[in-house]
Structure 1
Amino acid sequence: MNSSSPIRILIHGASGRMGQALLRLARENPALQVVAAVSRSGAAIDGVDVPMFASADLARCPSFDVAIDFSLPEGFDAVLAACKMRKAALVSGTTGLSTQQREALAQAAHTIPVLWASNFSLGVVVLEELSRRAAQALTGWDADIIESHHVHKKDAPSGTALTLGAAVAAGRGSAPHYASLRAGDIIGEHSVQFTGPGERIELIHRAGNRDIFARGALSAAAHLAGRPAGNHRLADLIFSD
């Protein structure tokens, strides 16, 4: 890839809240060029001046270097297939993937660079690493993860909470306990708590808006373009420079 040329981005799930945030923020980055926006219907989006495509017409999209996917599990197979066919990278934040879809993603990593994350906040990337290190040092302490989201979020614990829980388990050898709250319009709050005799440590991340996730995904796409095939981690990409 010519380093002086913009990275060509396809946004899959463009009509959703994350998709629209990606479209808006990508315009602010001259290093990125959105060449196609894909939604279920392909209908025009107010204020969006990039080519729109319906999900069924994904194969007709122009060439791209990286697809950013924030859609639904029903649409994941098609965008993964498109990336494999185009030899393009895939950045995905789609949650609720089946075991078969996760296996397909792992297989695709043999031929293209892929990155799946439950949360693209750079702060959460740091929180994950801090949680692992704290758990490793505090193996005899209780470990709990408390997460809060808006009333419309269906999965509990959240995908981010489970990711943090995996980091805790990697550090101490056992999983933490989880507690979930669904209230109002909370965008996302996660607390990793370690409690020992007479003392407690809390590691907390609060999301103030959804733009933080879109910025993280765009940053991941910029870092992933041109990388070798493989299953990449957000932390490795963001903090490798």
Structure 2
Amino acid sequence: MTQIGIHGANGRMGKQIELCLLDEKNANLAMLFNEGDSYEILFEKSSVIIDFSAPSGTKNLLEFARTSPKPLVIGTTGLSEKEKELMKQASSLMPIFYASNMSLGVAVLNHLAKQASTMLKDFDIEILEMHHRHKKDAPSGTAMSLAQSVAEARNLNLQSVRISGRNGIIGERSKDEIGVMSLRGGDIVGRHTIGFYENGEFLELNHTATSRATFAKGAIKIALWLNLQNAGFYEMNDFLGI
């Protein structure tokens, strides 16, 4: 039986994972970890650790894990490039899975977006993400992952072409511009739309999450899979085999 520790247990996702583990036949809850708890006990009790904390919490987790390697599933959003690099360095010692979104549907959306970006090379690309009023980072990590994927498909540098607001801009939309816009309000769990627009037609791909359980169940499935992997850095395409 896989023993799963939850790092960032007081957060919305941590609580949802705790609930979903009650119905999981192949895993048990090993420990609920919050700031101030003992990393030694967390790592001793857990077969694999799922992290939905904050960037500072993820950094602390990775630094301790380097002294006591353990499979880590990381879903924290808002990570800096330095923190992502720390994660990749630590993966030489243990299996580490990272995704800004644990939904299998979003993974397929990302895959389709890459294909559409290549096939519809003259179409303008716009990405819109909507989340609840309490979400702390914007744009969402998922929106940024989508933007990175379509930019790479067109051999573009995302930093050079991304627009996340048009207030005060004078002039037409540039050919390679990729818009990434955010809306916040109410209790929206998550909605992502990536649109491809051309004169006379457009195509929009949508994914809507109606429950946080979607992400929690995905994280648990990934944790069970990761516990069987060798040291290395894994992403959703590795899990799905695409």
Q: TM-score range by the shorter chain?
A: 0.7 to 0.9
Q: CA deviation at 1:239?
A: 4.1
Match status 1:7 vs 2:9: no
Q: Distance in 2 between matches of 1:139 and 1:199?
A: 14
For the pair 1:101 / 2:83, whether they are aligned, the reply is: yes
Q: Distance in 1 between matches of 2:66 and 2:231?
A: 11
Q: Which residue of 2 aligns with 1:232?
A: 234
Give, in whole Å, the separation in 2 of the partners of 1:106 and 1:178.
26
1:58 alignment partner in structure 2:
39
Q: Which residues of 2 match residues 132-211 of structure 1 at below 5 A? A: 132-174=114-156, 175=158, 176-211=178-213
Deviations 1:60-89 (A, max 9, x none): 333422110001122112322343333211
2:11 corresponds to? 16
Comparing 226-235 with 199-208, greater Cα deviation is found at: 226-235
Q: Which runs of 5+ in 1 are unaligned?
A: 1-5, 41-53
Note if 1:92 corresponds to 2:87: no
2:77 and 2:137 in contact (8 A); partners too? no
Task: Evaluate the alpha carbon distance shift between residue 92 and residue 107 of structure 1 in structure 2; reply closer, same or farther with a 3 A threshold.
Answer: same
Name the SS of the counterpart of 1:85 in structure 2: coil
Rounded to whole Å, the distance in 2 between the matches of 1:79 and 1:226 is 20
Larger RCO (alpha carbons 8 Å, 6+ apart): 2
Unaligned runs of 5+ in 2: 159-177
Superposition TM-score, scaled by structure 1 size: 0.86
Q: CA deviation at 1:113?
A: 0.7
Mean alpha-carbon deviation: is it higher for 212-221 or for 229-238? 229-238
The residue identity in structure 2 corresponding to 1:146 is: L
The answer to whether the 8 Å contact 1:219/1:238 transfers is no
SS in 1 for 2:128: strand
Distance 1:17 1:82 in 2: 24
* Residue 49 of structure 2, aligned match among 67, 80, 88: 67
C-alpha separation between the residues in 1 aligned to 2:187 and 2:50?
25
1:138·1:172 contact (CA, 8 Å) conserved in 2? no
The range that moved more, 167-176 or 186-195, is: 167-176
| DSSP 3-state at the match of 2:66 | helix
User: RMSD over aligned Cα, in angstroms?
Assistant: 1.6
DSSP 3-state at the match of 1:139 = coil
The percent of aligned pairs where both chains have the same amino acid is 38
The TM-score with structure 2 as length reference comes to 0.86
